[in-house]
């Protein structure tokens, strides 16, 4: 047997026999490492929305009233509905890194059609407790794939303040309406003054978290903030 055939056989044994992959949506056995089968991939391709900031901000304000946005522009790839919901779950709670890479690829495709010029990529942090349980931050994984593809540095710019400390300072109403004071900027990781930063996140619900992170960036001298978000959890009363 030639060497190359032997390597192919070893690869087959390692990937398909010892560690077979299954589609994270339908469960079918797959021979690629995309995280989903071809059919599911095709159905995901059909539901890409790529909502713009202009669209999302206007829609949000229709429901919640006027808001102060610190994100200059963004792209929201999908509505938070099946099959995206199940895939986000697989990424976050079944530790499926292939799905993080799959979503990152959709982010890269969406970013490539924008005319944004950005210097750094960052991501929303998760608590140490969650990081310990999960082993990784899914938004960080996505950010790193995007950084590789766009040839930009991925920097960790935010940390979570201790929850007790943050809650002490806030009234319950403040806690409800926003996440003010939940995060801190990490000083010295990069010179972000007058720079443009892209924030990567998985699911947008109220928008409070990412808007607060954008506010912190602006307060620390960042000129432009862009956002790339995988799923938009629209309220039922919002139109498709």
Instruction: Compute the distance between CA of residue 103 and CA of residue 34 in angstroms, rounded to an integer.
Output: 10
Torsion of CA 93, 151, 195, 73, to 10 degrees: -60
The residues in 38-77 that bind Zn ion, with binding defined as CB under 5 A, are 40
| Residues 75 and 229: beta-carbon distance below 8 Å | yes
Indicate the residue among 28 and 169 with the shorter CB distance to Zn ion: 28
Q: Which helix (H) or strand (E) holds 136?
A: none
Residue 33 CB, shortest distance to Zn ion, in Å, is 14
Among 37, 71, 90, 154, binds Zn ion (CB under 5 A): 37
| CB nearer to Zn ion: pick between 25 and 78 | 25
Give me the least distance between CB of 41 and Zn ion, in Å please. Answer: 8
Residue list 77-136, contact with Zn ion (CB under 5 A): none
Structure-token pair, residue 185 = 């900027």
Which two structure tokens, joined as six digits, stand for 219?
Answer: 């307060």
Binds Zn ion by CB under 5 A, chosen from 15, 22, 26, 109: 26
Whose Cβ is closer to Zn ion: residue 25's or residue 123's? Answer: 25
Q: Looking at 35-43, 45-53, 153-161, 202-210, which segment touches Zn ion (CB under 5 A)?
A: 35-43
Number of residues that bind Zn ion (CB under 5 A): 6
Helix axes 84-93, 97-112, angle to 10 degrees: 130
Whichever of 76 and 103 has its CB closer to Zn ion, that residue is 103
* DSSP code string of 55-121: HHHHHHHHHH--------EEEEEEES-TTHHHHHHHHHHS--HHHHHHHHHHHHHHHHTS----SEE
Among 25, 69, 76, 232, binds Zn ion (CB under 5 A): 25
| CB 237, CB 84: distance < 8 Å | no
Report angle CA 22, 45, 16 to the nearest 5 degrees: 20
Interaction between residue 23 and Zn ion (CB under 5 A):
yes
8-state DSSP, 161: P
> Judged by CB, which is closer to Zn ion: 72, or 81?
81
Shortest Cβ distance from residue 112 to Zn ion (Å)? 26
Segment contacting Zn ion by CB under 5 A, of 22-30, 90-98, 132-140, 219-227: 22-30
- Nearer to Zn ion among residue 41 and residue 218 (C-beta): 41
Interface ranges with Zn ion (CB under 5 A): 23, 25-26, 28, 37, 40
């Amino acid at each position: 047997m030639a060497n190359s055939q032997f390597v192919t056989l070893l690869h087959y044994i390692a990937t398909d026999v010892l560690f077979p992959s299954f589609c994270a949506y339908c469960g079918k056995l797959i021979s690629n490492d995309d995280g989903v089968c071809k059919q599911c991939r095709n159905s995901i391709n059909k539901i890409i929305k790529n909502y713009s900031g202009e669209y999302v901000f206007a829609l949000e304000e229709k429901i919640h009233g006027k808001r102060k946005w610190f994100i200059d522009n963004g792209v929201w790839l999908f509505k938070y509905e099946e099959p995206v919901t199940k895939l986000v779950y697989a990424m976050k709670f079944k530790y499926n890194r292939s799905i993080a890479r799959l979503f990152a690829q959709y982010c890269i495709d969406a970013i490539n059609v924008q005319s944004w010029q950005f210097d750094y990529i960052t991501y929303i942090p998760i608590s140490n407790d969650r990081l310990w349980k999960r082993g990784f931050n899914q938004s960080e994984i996505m950010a790193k794939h995007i950084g590789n593809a766009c040839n930009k540095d991925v920097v960790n710019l935010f940390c979570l303040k201790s929850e007790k400390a943050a809650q002490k300072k806030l009234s319950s109403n403040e806690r409800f309406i926003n996440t003010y004071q939940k995060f801190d900027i990490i000083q010295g990781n990069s010179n972000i003054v007058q720079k443009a930063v892209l924030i990567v996140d998985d699911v947008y619900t109220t928008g409070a978290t990412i808007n607060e992170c954008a506010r912190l960036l602006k307060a620390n001298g960042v000129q432009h903030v862009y956002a790339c978000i995988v799923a938009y959890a629209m309220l039922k009363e919002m139109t498709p």
